[in-house]
Amino acid sequence: MLSVSNVTAGYGDLTVLREVNLEVEQGEFVALVGSNAAGKSTLMKAIFGLLPMKAGKVIFEANDLTGIPTYEIARRGFSLVLEQSVLRNISAEDNLNLGAYGDNARPYLKDSIEKVYQLFPVLAERRKQLAGSFSGGEQQMLCIGRALMGKPKLLVLDEPSVGLSPVMVNFILSALSELNKQGLTILLVEQNVAQTLRVANRAYVMENGRIVLSGKAKDLLIDPSVKRAYLGI
């Protein structure tokens, strides 16, 4: 479904990513993990056309996305969830409705919003409240829900656990796992290595702008180098 091939990118003269390769097959739950400043978010910006690539290609469903505007990428069913990026001055329900802007999503608005409310009941309870009054965890639920309203084929989440309590992190990851069981393909970008590897099918480990390890998530969870570098063992 998604193929990232030899992507090199950065900011001005600073090269952050060096020949990054990553694959996501339909139906998978794939994680990209690594410490802060490893280059994970820079890779997401490059994939979504928010940062020009110096080299490499991004292929989504056999279509080359290199150089395509971000809004056009989103229209193709490739959705990115950024950390707590809600519209604070409108209600939770209005935030969700905005997610169903595409022609492929608008006809299913009612059904989609009910599915979001089933996944995150607190959003149903507070649907008329301003999004800015929500806690960090509730705002993250709202961001995920808004992305789901667009009927994505591939859901990409960039650091959804940042600033959340351990209980809320577990709740968010459980919700993502449930979505994957329902058939949604997911790419989760996280520095919360242990919890992420427990829910993903496969994973990539990034350090200093390069992929240094990849494989089944359960195998990486017990890999000595991963345990030593990220789990404190």
Structural domains for the chain: 1-68+190-233 (3.40.50.300)
pTM check: above 0.75? yes
By DSSP bridging, strand 2-11 and strand 53-60 are: antiparallel
pLDDT in tens, 31-64: 999 988 899 999 999 999 999 999 999 999 999 9
**In angstroms, rounded to a whole number, what is the distance separating the alpha carbons of residues 184 and 66?**
24
Mean pLDDT of the chain: 91
Tokens encoding 84: 């707590």
Q: What is the mean pLDDT of residues 121-149?
A: 93
Assess contact for 99 and 147: CB atoms under 8 A.
Answer: yes
Tokens encoding 55: 């080299």
The fraction of the chain above a pLDDT of 90, given in percent, is 69
Please say whether the dihedral angle defined by the alpha carbons of residues 48, 50, 51 and 52, taken in this order, is positive or negative: positive
pLDDT in tens, 190-218: 988 989 999 999 999 999 999 999 999 99
**In angstroms, rounded to a whole number, what is the distance separating the alpha carbons of residues 49 and 16?**
16
Please say whether the dihedral angle defined by the alpha carbons of residues 121, 126, 128 and 130, taken in this order, is positive or negative: negative
- In sequence order, what are the residues at sequence separation of 6 or more whose Cβ sits closer than 8 angstroms to the Cβ of residue 143? 81, 82, 83, 84, 85, 86, 160
Instruction: Count CA atoms within 13 Å of residue 137 on its CB side.
Output: 14
- Tell me if residue 5 falls in helix, strand or coil: strand
